Structure 1
């Protein structure tokens, strides 16, 4: 063996002594791996609820620890005293925040997660109608691990273009944004089984929940106008046609939007023009091979969509919540209209008009 080879072997043997393990290694058997956190109360009087699996063989079984404190960190310390293991949030998927708690300062409640290197920034942030605790009391109806359940639930809404993609990181950016406000999933529980169900988008003004939320349909148009179409968009209406009710359902194939900003003195007007080809998925009256029938249907869809968009903007403006991000475009492309610190005052009073061009391009396998 050559001397140089001996030196290499000795070097490798010595180096291996320093590779015995990671300095921050944590064993799962010593941890209570928290997958969902619920928050009730305000800074000064907080109740934190921490859900983690209680069975290795059955992921649907879990325990909820409750901690009380003046801060989120203190409530977590209190909850940690009630388990024989150390609580760990490295696999946190969802943070559920009581709507009343979010009205004061959402960021103050989230700060403990932003300051921890172990917190996953892709965790979903959700606003709940009423106590967050009741959203963790659904053990008898669970079909999967609770953290996976909530993550998949919100992801399904995002795929359907009901909510824009959101997580801890995105929420923090929007809470400090001057040109766009945060919109978060707003969940209620069903009356029969108490299961979580989407009720719309919670509207924020800065770090505070305004107390107002969009409906699911209005949330779709806020997402389409403020972000983009995700995997698919499905809509359904009832049409009082010829003294009869007709079901109209369709998928939006594409959603192209153009925006103009017009100024007349101190008055600002925003004009949207939208091209929206659709695929009809339900229409019992049929005969969509006839041009006049298609045109009537297109006119109906156009009218209903324009009304829904108008309602969405009115709610957003009344709540001083620019979830569509009009302010971003004003600041970037019309700096002469941007008044530092005064955008929200201007936003509430601007006139917004929308013109939708609907084109039925597919009508299914029947006429």
Structure 2
């Protein structure tokens, strides 16, 4: 019995001996935000914010948080990271980064050249957000308010808030990889810029991607919201406003309660994608009122449907001009019409698809008027 207990004790001690690849937190310099640029020589430049927490012995253990801005250059992302690692005390550790910011030059190239190093590190947070900036990622990160201590969290929450409002597509380091290696669909990323007047970073729409690269085309928040509705990816809230009469300054605001989409593909000279988007909405702002009358409800349904159909038509023309298949029509054709895909497949297959959108709006509620 004693021999058995001794044997079990030895086994337990071996298990508690530690891990061969352990990395002590006290030796790590934790990165919460990183940006990536290309310099004039074609080398990568990484800009990171490292957070240090100092515990004051003289102030009864009061914790102060300091942010340090560090940069490194190299011919690859890993080499640039090693440059930073050699310039800071401790181990440069980008695994906890909450947001990755791509400079405009990096975004217009193959962004997988940047992301590859992250996928090869098992400690990386795959829920990190990815965004594009209108200039240099270095400038944008340095521009963040000095009063904003948790800069990584600030950008993360800024992006997350727009996702909740269905203004941008929900893309993370994990999910973007499925788009990068799918020949039948593309994606869009939040587009960040500096608001000089307010001295803050804002989301100024979304950047359209084709394959692995930014096309150079942007969508406004209203356009990206409409596209998300066509994708049936509505989040918790979708609030839209339409101008009904510019001369009389009459507009209507409404909240989209539910979405349904019907897609029909047919082959003629081109592949025609007939899409019917049906929206159930709740009116939240309409000063002319009279929503207790069916005639006024029918009027609003017709007007909003007409406006959204025109906007959708312009939206899909913009997508076609940039070969950006955000809706994933190529994936639909691959799955259900493989013979058609064999005829049109290739890098520019979207040229062979003609989208015919139609929006039908149903007013289900006029809100409560006291």
Give the TM-score normalised by structure 2. Answer: 0.91
Stretches of structure 1 that go unaligned for 5 or more consecutive residues are: none
Which shifted more, 125-134 or 306-315?
Answer: 306-315
* Residues 299/93 of structure 1: CA separation in 2 closer, same or farther (3 Å cut): same
Partner Cα separation in structure 2 for residue 212 and residue 194 of structure 1: 25
Q: Which of 49, 52, 65 is residue 51 of structure 1 equivalent to?
A: 49
Which shifted more, 276-285 or 38-47?
Answer: 38-47
Stretches of structure 2 that go unaligned for 5 or more consecutive residues are: 55-62
Residue in 2 aligned with 1:317? 320
* Residues 116/220 of structure 1: CA separation in 2 closer, same or farther (3 Å cut): same
Partner Cα separation in structure 2 for residue 58 and residue 313 of structure 1: 50
Cα contact 1:89–1:118 (8 A) shared by 2:
no
Q: Deviations over 1:88-116 (max 9, x none)?
A: 12211111001221111100111111111
Partner Cα separation in structure 1 for residue 325 and residue 296 of structure 2: 38
Q: Which of 198, 207, 211 is residue 202 of structure 1 equivalent to?
A: 207
Count of aligned pairs between the two proteins: 360
Task: Return the offset for 1:16.
Answer: 3.2
Cα contact 1:161–1:231 (8 A) shared by 2:
yes
Q: Deviations over 1:249-289 (max 9, x none)?
A: 1110011000111222x222111112111011111111111
Residue in 2 aligned with 1:128? 133
Cα contact 1:217–1:308 (8 A) shared by 2:
no
Residue in 2 aligned with 1:157? 162
SS in 1 for 2:135: coil
Task: Return the offset for 1:224.
Answer: 2.2
Task: Return the offset for 1:138.
Answer: 4.1
Residue in 1 aligned with 2:11? 15
Give runs of aligned pairs for residues 218-367 of structure 1, distance below 5 A: 218-240=223-245, 243-264=247-268, 266-339=269-342, 342-366=345-369
Task: Return the offset for 1:340.
Answer: 6.7
Partner Cα separation in structure 2 for residue 157 and residue 328 of structure 1: 26
* Residues 296/195 of structure 1: CA separation in 2 closer, same or farther (3 Å cut): same
* Residues 172/142 of structure 1: CA separation in 2 closer, same or farther (3 Å cut): farther
Task: Return the offset for 1:51.
Answer: 0.8
Which shifted more, 100-109 or 226-235?
Answer: 226-235
Cα contact 1:96–1:128 (8 A) shared by 2:
yes
Aligned Cα root-mean-square deviation (Å)? 2.0
Task: Return the offset for 1:142.
Answer: 4.6
* Residues 256/335 of structure 1: CA separation in 2 closer, same or farther (3 Å cut): same
Q: Deviations over 1:112-135 (max 9, x none)?
A: 111111212111111111110122
Q: Which of 28, 32, 44 is residue 35 of structure 1 equivalent to?
A: 32
SS in 1 for 2:87: coil
Task: Return the offset for 1:17.
Answer: 2.6
Give the TM-score normalised by structure 1. Answer: 0.92
* Residues 239/58 of structure 1: CA separation in 2 closer, same or farther (3 Å cut): farther
